[in-house]
Structure 1
């Protein structure tokens, strides 16, 4: 079904001496391209961060700028320009596709079965309904436009997905991940991330032309299930002993080598059996997530994932040939607007049916209306497999990228509309969620120190609930979507309503000596086993708080909030060294 034009996203292949043009350094293929990428990222990304643009969008823009369809078109007119643009993208794409492998591994690593079970109604219920409903409507429209049944199914599924990278970054920056809208959006995104693997598998089924042969399709799924089961069974007996051996050696290099071996080895195994490398990486992530090494591994692979994924998105930007569809560019914007409106309408109805308020439904619907990075991956796979034509793939990529550019504006609009709807109806305001109480930190006092602690917890995707007796502060923060309640932190009934008995820990940031001691005494009396961390005015006050029952009391300085946060991260299950690295990074930015 693909046209005669070259593939937008070539498959993974390393070419040594295959091109007519000799590489810059014969022993290091694509050295010039890699140097250009590093220079562009180093010079342009600081500007992107300063303008508060999503890194994903920033890398897409960099690729468009330095690629063959950006400045590359001017190389014949501007002498020397070819030195700073990339016209051959095979090497960048080959390495960049490994970024997808590490991204899927990270998703598997961050998914614990306990977390998925706690959010099961939002993840499997609401998330599945959103994917299926959106895919059905979008796929029906695509089929009506004569794309063919396999292409229509693929387009419906991949366009139903939203941008995990952009949405999660926005929720973390705005301290919104613990809000009702944030938790609901996260649950839907979690299911979308899970759906990527079967979507990529479905592309392989379509490429093998087994979509109309029920027996062959069932056989393919049975073989896939057998491979997945074998990986899980072997992984349960192999991974933990191997990591324990590497960790006991005291060699960080050996530990990292073992992690990379298991990731790439599992990916290679699934590829050898006809499945995708991304599937293998996802399975490896799930296996690692059940070990005590998951946080250390996540911290170690983050630079690899970030760099390789940046290469992938830059390669996507390089392949955006806007000139090819310039005559019909209005169709791109029309399709992008229609896609966002359609997804928002479906999401709004489903979230309301799920029982959430109008305010939450509106914010979630607008927040997740854009297309996502996984749509680009699915389109890439569909084009390589011959399921999508060149023209269709190019058009869909442009539509998705336009919606991703609109994502920050959508997030802002969703928040404003949700806040206004909540203000109209008190019943729409944030209510406690007992289902998440056992995974939550309770913060008593939400001033400067409390807000910094909340930000750090948000960045690590740890839910929290704040309590403060300043009515103006509570109104302001609630209007911004922060999960906070008005009241005295020593009120045991109030704390019981927000689930403090099942919380990870309680942290007191109250600066008044008597009030702080009263809160700690009351909590220790009613909840003798609850970890209590407290901010103190001075060492004498710290000793008084410890005598009142605090687990840890830190004298008041800027360092206090950082030390409290480090202790909380460890109480929440992060290893000591990982929590220390997180706080050191936060300390360097303060």
Structure 2
């Protein structure tokens, strides 16, 4: 009995130890956590042979990609997804249809594979790693930038394309065995599954969460979140589609839900752990024997694959209207093989399209190409053309004031008016050369620079600043600036523009002196003026706004301790009857009475 218990915990303990050691170490030396997880997997599996069932672990770890696609879906409501249709079904489709046949021709002509094997190899290698690319963009804070959205559109189409690629496998197997599995009924089953998921997402899931939330059962809310993700993924798998696609559709359908932030908070820990496990499983499943026996072929195949994909991607991006720098960023971000390639190659090997040794070699090529992604991205950044003119160099002559403002979009411009009107000198920096030139026409003196860089902040006078106002409009950028300042300049008072309620809670956890949601005060004033328009006295409307502000602050304090769904009793979700929420002051009552008598 003791041996079996030891066996249960032995491998998880090794995996946790490997993650704890490798991920921070690789992050510290600038190589990123993904490469750290891969290295830990290789060390525990092929090198030390401490864990030998890497392929079985990979099936479980693929849930990390499923959870990742669900969280991405939560950030994309249907209207936004529709706005991306040109990149998804234009550039994404073109990338698969061009890259797949080109790589297939190379596999036939240079390596002598049959047509069936070459097609599987070509289209399998045409796929890029959603996990690697999205994780890289999230780390850099570029997922919401134009090129980040374009790159994600390509990845999204690739994830959808895995379904028809897998459908090709039984058709291409020797003699066409299994072709009967691809039938009209199978296609109708896939359509019916998608329709069922859409209906459930629109009419069933929200009432389910509302019911559970009303009971206050926190653990049931977590179970419901997992049920939604895994249930939608399983439904798509039964229909012969990608599990990740099912989770993504579920996320998109819940993007407008009032429970979106709670779902994201519940799923995020599972996503992080399982995605790390996924990369470790890739390292564990790497067959070093195949790599060693064919090292020369791998050394040629990995850079050749990445170069070919990068060149094709760059050309297609330019055809679809991307600028040079955006096309180069996308091309150097997506030249690697993808995690769904493992699934396709395994299925092809089982269908006898090519040998297990070939599948292992292809897996090694894909794995090593993933490992080379940070190098590819770094090389791409070196090749970017300079978009900022020479006059936009980071010159900070004359910088240094009591207030250092980082970011000068609309929020920063309005906030600066108060400071300047109060007689305070403000040093303003912004990373957009276009904005710097534009506001200079109105007489502002601002400096060009990236607030995420320590040397820029030092040149701008942060060590002498009494207050640093972070007014950037991208959450990832804001978080990077706050984390860096807290680490390098702990004495500074941080006043930060918050993106939303969840962001506010995370900033408070970082001990910033003050934060404010970018729309909070304007929304309060809007509601107050609307109430006045409906006949409420100004004094009463202001008192009600003050009460809502007070209740919101109380709710934030509760949420910081008990979680996002706590403090719901502090919110008003229906009209307050029969008495007004706030009784008017005696003076307001007297004025109202005088007004009524005069009528």
Which of 437, 443, 455 aligns to 1:486? It is: 437
Equivalent runs, 1:44-59 vs 2, <5 Å: 44-59=22-37
Give the aligned partner of residue 199 of structure 1. Answer: 162
Give the aligned partner of residue 47 of structure 2. Answer: 70
Give the aligned partner of residue 524 of structure 2. Answer: none
Alpha-carbon contact 2:69-2:247 (below 8 Å) kept: yes
Alpha-carbon contact 1:207-1:386 (below 8 Å) kept: no
Give the aligned partner of residue 137 of structure 1. Answer: 102
Alpha-carbon contact 2:54-2:281 (below 8 Å) kept: yes
For residue 59 of structure 1, report the CA deviation from its aligned partner.
1.2
Alpha-carbon contact 1:204-1:275 (below 8 Å) kept: no
For residue 86 of structure 1, report the CA deviation from its aligned partner.
1.5
Partner Cα distance (1:407, 1:115) in 2: 28
For residue 37 of structure 1, report the CA deviation from its aligned partner.
0.8
- What secondary structure sits across from 1:487 in the alignment? helix
Alpha-carbon contact 2:137-2:148 (below 8 Å) kept: no
For residue 34 of structure 1, report the CA deviation from its aligned partner.
0.7
Alpha-carbon contact 2:225-2:266 (below 8 Å) kept: no
Which of 19, 28, 31 aligns to 2:9? It is: 31
Equivalent runs, 1:118-267 vs 2, <5 Å: 118-144=83-109, 145-177=111-143, 182-200=145-163, 202-204=165-167, 206-207=169-170, 216-267=182-233
The change in CA–CA distance for 1:272 and 1:53 in structure 2 (over 3 A counts) is same
The change in CA–CA distance for 1:340 and 1:363 in structure 2 (over 3 A counts) is same
Partner Cα distance (2:324, 2:225) in 1: 45
Which of 96, 110, 116 aligns to 2:61? It is: 96
Alpha-carbon contact 1:99-1:309 (below 8 Å) kept: yes
1:451-481 Cα offsets, whole Å, 9 max, x none, are 6999xxxxxxxxxxxxxx999x66xx46xxx
Partner Cα distance (1:390, 1:136) in 2: 23
Alpha-carbon contact 1:98-1:309 (below 8 Å) kept: yes
The change in CA–CA distance for 1:202 and 1:586 in structure 2 (over 3 A counts) is farther
Give the aligned partner of residue 548 of structure 1. Answer: none
1:268-311 Cα offsets, whole Å, 9 max, x none, are 33444555544433332232224222232122111111212222
Unaligned runs of 5+ in 2: 392-400, 411-425, 444-459, 463-470, 472-490, 515-599
Partner Cα distance (2:493, 2:346) in 1: 47
Partner Cα distance (1:411, 1:121) in 2: 25
The change in CA–CA distance for 1:240 and 1:390 in structure 2 (over 3 A counts) is same
For residue 125 of structure 1, report the CA deviation from its aligned partner.
1.8
Is 1:297 the equivalent of 2:276? no
For residue 90 of structure 1, report the CA deviation from its aligned partner.
6.5
Give the aligned partner of residue 288 of structure 1. Answer: 254
Partner Cα distance (2:203, 2:252) in 1: 14
Aligned residues: 449
Give the aligned partner of residue 112 of structure 1. Answer: 77
The change in CA–CA distance for 1:408 and 1:452 in structure 2 (over 3 A counts) is farther
Which of 13, 32, 40 aligns to 2:18? It is: 40
For residue 108 of structure 1, report the CA deviation from its aligned partner.
3.1
- What secondary structure sits across from 1:198 in the alignment? helix
Partner Cα distance (1:245, 1:585) in 2: 30
Bigger shift: 303-312 or 265-274? 265-274
- What secondary structure sits across from 2:4 in the alignment? coil
The change in CA–CA distance for 1:308 and 1:286 in structure 2 (over 3 A counts) is same
For residue 213 of structure 1, report the CA deviation from its aligned partner.
5.7
Partner Cα distance (1:341, 1:414) in 2: 12
Unaligned runs of 5+ in 1: 1-21, 73-84, 427-444, 455-468, 493-508, 512-519, 521-556, 571-575
Partner Cα distance (1:448, 1:173) in 2: 25
Partner Cα distance (2:355, 2:2) in 1: 31
1:159-204 Cα offsets, whole Å, 9 max, x none, are 22333444444445445456xxx52243233332343243145315
Q: Which has the higher contact order (CA 8 A, sep 6+)?
A: 1
The change in CA–CA distance for 1:186 and 1:388 in structure 2 (over 3 A counts) is farther
Alpha-carbon contact 1:205-1:211 (below 8 Å) kept: no
1:357-409 Cα offsets, whole Å, 9 max, x none, are 33433333233323333434443454456555312221122212222222222
CA RMSD of aligned residues (A): 4.3
Alpha-carbon contact 1:162-1:189 (below 8 Å) kept: no
Bigger shift: 121-130 or 211-220? 211-220
Alpha-carbon contact 1:33-1:92 (below 8 Å) kept: no
Give the aligned partner of residue 413 of structure 1. Answer: 379
- What secondary structure sits across from 1:286 in the alignment? helix
The change in CA–CA distance for 1:250 and 1:150 in structure 2 (over 3 A counts) is farther
Bigger shift: 259-268 or 354-363? 354-363
- What secondary structure sits across from 2:254 in the alignment? helix
Give the aligned partner of residue 457 of structure 1. Answer: none
Is 1:583 the equivalent of 2:507? yes
For residue 238 of structure 1, report the CA deviation from its aligned partner.
0.7
Partner Cα distance (2:212, 2:19) in 1: 34
Q: TM-score, length-normalised on structure 2? A: 0.65
